[in-house]
A and B are shown apart, each in its own frame.
Chain A
């Protein structure tokens, strides 16, 4: 019994070592395929341009001498390899509200339940602006003070405008998930404003405020205002040589802000406007558009479903009125992007998706072009498909079942369950029943994995019978190899009994010398009968 437990422990320990050490190179190989596929994707399939954007009043746009406004968005496929380690560092970031080199900083102190801010106030002494001694302020939902007093109240899970992290703003707008209310803190005026508590029936679950962006936090979404062509003549020293160049100048000034509002991203993917003064919702601003997928997927997406997203509000300085938002979403697998423009009332004006011209001249969605667009793409797609099939079938099935459970960003550093694999992609399609999806996954997607598992199971069963494992042990090994495929096979090779076999006198096959009976024919050892000799040694 003790040896059986020892053997089981040995197998599980070896199995875990094998699955970890096998998963890591498989991860890198899959990533290399993904990177090459991303590189091969034509540039036009990574960009979306919309001209005119639709956010500018029509009286400006109709002027024929004006180059109309433009929205451009770019899908970055090169940032993926560092997601795991970057996430750890970025996860720390929301905890800081800002930290600047001049000694100003602000963060949420979990133990105190207060937002702590240190800054040096500016003072005007005899017409000169100087910095006073730094003060540390503690802000709670009910007030602000220089000590962490109880009457300040306590925040539970606050989220604030993350756009302020590097801008060292001393005004923070936020939402507390525990208290279910918005708040605004002005550290200079030492005022905390608390909005009304959201009712229990309210569907809103804000997850981001102000600058709404996903993991990349990069400037890959740009709005250009209408431009007018200006002929500019420059004289440089020599009066005979005149350089004449055409220049484009913006006809209107704008800011990437929502004017009197703040943008609030909801867990459902909806984007709302929050009135900065009253701290109550002022209407819908739009929603995150759903990118096109390889298989037909659901029409609405949540931030969790997206690898990256970015939302930019636009306010024209001509009337200082909020004009609308631009929203960009990148698909979980990083293969396609959607860009939508919403007006000031939250109505979608335009929406476009990444696409390219195929070799036959037909327009091809980037989610398809990524895998089959370029001449070399099918080779790397098939390689990636086969690499995914080296994963244990049980984990492939787990990827199928949990296709929507993991966030898109976490899926990019997955080692065991692969939410971005082909099997998970097929599980996310909406136009089939669960039975049809399962059948499709079994037949087309994890078939190589199943075939490999069955072949390895046969090998393990044959070898286990040869080395004399018990019927029960053989049964467990067969089940284990079918479920875990290559991992189980390597584990078996590492843990199989290393005994030199001898030939059985009865059946002629190899048998184990440490067992009483031959494990093939069941015959005992042939022991010659010990008969006492007739002779005796006498004195």
Chain B
């Protein structure tokens, strides 16, 4: 499994590096803003960063599936002692890790800045944790949309379809917020997308 995950990361190395650079930019901008005297709780630019990140997640899903389809990676891997189930799990774990690669350093930075510059009220920490969970679930849902549509045969359908569906889905957080109700809907949505992707990937002839 580790070899498969390593292979997946190598295949999507451009996106992984992009995610690292994105994280570095977000952290640098935030830290410099705080050192220039802005409040650590100033979250005005977060929605833009979050929107860009969810689009990156969606593109990553499409990228993984399109690369597999066009380069026949699964067809090649199946000549080795590997099952389709393991290939898909390795792919999903890779996506999961890349999302954490961005969100965990940003959240840790938030906690450190809050500890150093923010008011010593634990409520803010809980609030940051809620935002982290919501951001993770939304990003993962967008990644799953990319995975689900990326396996479609048409290039335009898979790319445009995924981006349109992501555009439709993202406003859910504006409508429902980041409360438990919204998180339940997003979790179920992720489960449904993973089931559909699983069934599609398992049933399609390579």
**Chain A residues within 8 Å of B18, by CB:** none
Option from B121, B127, B177 in Cβ contact (under 8 Å) with A413: B177
B195 lies within 8 A of A21 (CB): no
Q: Does B185 contact A (CB under 8 A)?
A: yes
B122 within 8 A of A: yes
Q: How far is the CA of A81 from the CA of B177 in the complex (A)?
A: 12
Is the CB of B178 closer than 8 A to any CB of chain A?
A: yes
Is B86 interfacial (CB 8 A cutoff)? no
Give chain B residues whose Cβ lies under 8 Å from the Cβ of A12: 192
Provide the residues of chain B in CB contact with A86, threshold 8 Å. 177
A10 touches B195 (CB 8 A): yes
B-contact bits for A3-43, CB 8 A (1 contact / 0 none): 00010011011101100110011011000000000000000
Contact of A21 with B177 in the complex, beta carbons under 8 Å: no
Across the interface, A13 reaches (CB within 8 A) one of B122, B165, B196, namely B196
**B interface secondary structure, majority:** helix
How many angstroms from the CA of A413 to the CA of B189 in the assembled complex?
A: 18
**A87 close to B177 (CB less than 8 A):** yes
Interchain CB contact under 8 A, B189 and A20: yes
B168 within 8 A of A: yes
Q: Does B188 count as interface, using CB distance less than 8 angstroms?
A: yes
* Residues of chain A lying within 8 A (CB to CB) of residue B196: 10, 13-14, 17
Instruction: Identify which of B121, B165, B191, B193 gathers the most chain A CB atoms within 10 Å of its CB.
Output: B121
User: Which residue of A6, A88, A105 has the most chain B CB atoms within 10 A of its CB atom?
Assistant: A88
Q: Total interface residues on B, using CB and 8 Å?
A: 29
Are the C-beta atoms of A24 and B168 separated by less than 8 Å?
A: yes
Q: Which residue of A lies closest to B193 (CB)?
A: A17
The reply to whether the CB of B173 lies closer than 8 angstroms to some CB of chain A is: yes
Q: Is A107 an interface residue (CB 8 A)?
A: yes
Residues of B within 8 A of A92 (CB): 123, 127
Q: Are B177 and A107 in contact (CB under 8 A)?
A: no
Question: Does B123 lie within 8 Å of A96, measured CB to CB?
Answer: yes
Question: Quick one: closest B residue to A18, CB to CB?
Answer: B192
CA distance A82 to B169 in the complex (A): 16
Interface hits, A66-124 → B, CB 8 Å: 81-82, 84-88, 91-92, 95-96, 99, 103, 105, 107, 109, 118
Q: Which residues of A are found within 8 Å of B2, using beta-carbon distances?
A: none
Partner of B174, one of A84, A99, A109: A84
State whether A415 touches B176 (Cβ < 8 A).
Answer: yes
B3 close to A (CB within 8 Å)? no
The reply to whether B122 and A16 contact each other, CB–CB distance below 8 Å, is no
Alpha-carbon distance A81/B175, docked complex (angstroms): 8
Whether the pair B177, A88 counts as a contact (CB closer than 8 A) is yes
State which of A14, A24, A84 has its C-beta within 8 Å of the C-beta of B192: A14
Q: Which residue of A lies closest to B39 (CB)?
A: A101
Q: Is the CB of B179 within 8 A of A88?
A: yes
Q: How many residues of A contact B (CB 8 A)?
A: 33
How many pairs, one residue from A and one from B, have CB atoms within 8 Å of each other in the complex?
Answer: 79
CB distance from A9 to the nearest CB of B (A): 6
Interface of A is mostly: helix
Contacts of A99 in B (CB 8 A): 119, 121
Residue of A nearest to B175 (CB): A84
Proximity string of chain B (175-187) to chain A, C-beta cutoff 8 Å, 1 when within and 0 when not = 1111100100100
| B172 proximal to A (CB < 8 A) | yes
The residue in chain B whose Cβ has the minimal distance to the Cβ of A87 is: B177
Chain A residues whose CB sits within 8 angstroms of the CB of B119 once the complex forms: 99, 103, 105
Give A22's nearest chain B residue, CB to CB: B168
List, in ascending order, chain B residues with CB within 8 A of A28's CB. Answer: 171
Q: Which residues does chain B contribute within 8 Å of A95, judged by CB atoms?
A: 123
Of A17, A95, A118, most B-chain CB atoms within 10 Å: A17
Contacts of A415 in B (CB 8 A): 172, 175-176, 185
Residues 151-181 of B at the A interface (beta carbon under 8 Å): 165, 168-169, 171-179
Q: Report the minimal beta-carbon distance from B167 to chain A, rounded to whole angstroms.
A: 10
> What are the residues of chain A within 8 A of B42 when measuring CB–CB?
none
User: Contact check: which of A9, A20, A84, A103 meets B177 at CB < 8 Å?
Assistant: A84
Say yes or no: is B199 at the interface (Cβ < 8 Å to chain A). Answer: yes
User: How long is the Cα–Cα vector from A81 to B171 in the complex, in angstroms?
Assistant: 11
For the complex, give the distance between the alpha carbons of A91 and B178 in Å: 11
A508 to chain B, nearest CB (A): 31
Residues of B within 8 A of A85 (CB): 173-175, 177-178
Q: Which residues of A contact B122 (CB under 8 A)?
A: 109
Residues of B near A10 (CB, < 8 A) are: 195-196, 199
CB within 8 Å for A24 and B171 given contacts A13-B192, A99-B121: yes
Q: Decide: A84 near B189, CB < 8 A? Known: A21-B168, A24-B168.
A: no
* Closest Cβ neighbor of B182 among chain A residues: A84
Which 10 interchain pairs have the tightest Cβ spacing?
A: A88-B177, A13-B192, A13-B195, A16-B192, A84-B175, A84-B177, A85-B177, A84-B176, A17-B192, A88-B178
Pairs A–B under 8 Å by Cβ, sample size 19: A9-B195, A13-B199, A20-B169, A20-B185, A20-B189, A82-B174, A84-B175, A84-B177, A85-B173, A85-B177, A85-B178, A86-B177, A88-B130, A88-B177, A91-B179, A99-B121, A103-B119, A413-B177, A415-B172
Binding site for A on B (CB under 8 A): 119-123, 127, 130, 165, 168-169, 171-179, 182, 185, 188-189, 191-193, 195-196, 199
A25-B168, A105-B119 given; name 18 further pairs at CB < 8 Å: A10-B195, A10-B199, A13-B193, A16-B188, A17-B189, A17-B193, A21-B169, A27-B175, A28-B171, A84-B174, A84-B177, A85-B177, A87-B179, A91-B179, A92-B123, A105-B121, A109-B122, A118-B120
